[in-house]
Amino acid sequence: MGELLDRYHPHRLVVYSRDEAKQHTMAQRLGSQSTLRFFIGDVRDEKRLRMALNGIDTVIHAAALKQVPACEYNPIEAVKTNIGGAVNVIEAAIDARVERVLMLGTDKQVCSVNLYGGTKFVAEKLFVQANCLSTQSGTKFAVTRYGNVIGSRGSVIEVFKSQQLTGKITLTDERMTRFVLTVGDGVNFVLKSIERMRGGEVFVPKLPSTGILDIADAVAHGCEHETVGIRPGEKLHETLISADESRWVLDCGDYYVIEPPFHFWRGEQAVYGTRVPEGFCYCSNTNPNRLDRDGIFKLVGMM
């Protein structure tokens, strides 16, 4: 939030969420900001959402139920928030004539094996196709896809830090790999994607991968390991771009763009980049950019 205020100096910045405690903490941390507005609301509440979007020109849609086990146990709630909420954001943004709307996606929606990934897959498709619905309002929709944010709520680092006090940590599978990035890198990529978007793109950053053993060694060095098995809905490795998507993918230097395979994407909207080879797959276990224990330790130290 501070990055948005410092970089763009907005006339008005609205925080819309259902968590008043986090809004209070945010207000205390940022101090007195005349441009900040805090709205209590839920993306499921279309009427309240439309009120919050009045006069807004840019929206970052980050609301989601994202804990894999929680979504597996509460599937209908996940659908209501992650899919129904996305529909509400799209329709409210079009009616309010918002200029740009960017949704935060996830690697778990690619070749999904869990409900969370499935709901985010549908939400991403809705956002890309929403550009067909917004020709009159001019609203542009795009998506970012990235991996696990180091130290985010519910992350394995939090679990390891709490467990290390006992001298033993639990691992699901020692072979597991993940894409990782810091909160700062994630924020910067989202803001750059908003500046770059023309409508319909899926932006994918080039990220390092790491193994669960390297994370465990960096965060809880010397602790005993107990392997408990992969939880329902978990993958051994994550994928950010599947081979089936490769025909639409452009390599743009430090990120990829997945172009929309729909009629609204015109030549004048094309992103400058190099086509990836057919069959290209961006997976955490085959990613050449790997972080070892020391690399993870440095990232954790940046939290």
- The question of whether 108 is a catalytic residue gets the answer yes
- The region that residue 60 occupies, defined by phi over 0 for left and psi between -120 and 50 for alpha, beta otherwise, is beta
Secondary structure letter of residue 300 according to DSSP: H
Start-to-end C-alpha separation, the chain: 16
The token pair at 217 is 């060694």
Q: Active site residue: 66, 108, 120, 235, which one?
A: 108
Which residues contact residue 210 at a Cβ distance below 8 angstroms, ignoring those fewer than 6 apart? 177, 178, 180, 290, 291, 292, 295, 296
170 DSSP β-pair partners? 226
Token duo for residue 13 = 């910045």
Nearest C-alpha neighbor of 135 from the set 200, 190, 49, 61: 200
Where are the alpha helices (H) located in the chain, listed in sequence order? 2-8, 20-30, 46-52, 68-73, 75-79, 85-95, 115-129, 156-163, 183-196, 212-219, 293-301
For residue 228 the two structure tokens come to 């408990």
Instruction: Look at the chain and count its residues.
Output: 303
**Active-site residues: which are they?**
108
